[in-house]
Structure 1
């Protein structure tokens, strides 16, 4: 997948990968998409923040 600079538009393949990812999410009952089903253009492009243990409570 091509990279873009701040002054250029992302390539159409990037948009297509996001649309495909959203489609998978919409088709999922909980919005969870197994990694194996992620489009190639999406893999490796997410950052997550995981809170330390004990900082999240579950009802």
Structure 2
């Protein structure tokens, strides 16, 4: 089996990674939540439009 990277490269990446601060975590959570709500709203609008079209749903 040909392994392109050895274990040391993964360990180096894990050492560089850090735990986000509370402000950073909350900002990312708000953006992700807004994206989920936006996608759900777009899906609901498409469903509502398709339900008025005869034979849509």
Same fold (TM over 0.5): no
Larger radius of gyration: 2
Quickly name the TM-score band, shorter chain normalised: 0.3 to 0.5
User: Which structure has the higher relative contact order (CA within 8 Å, separation 6+)?
Assistant: 1
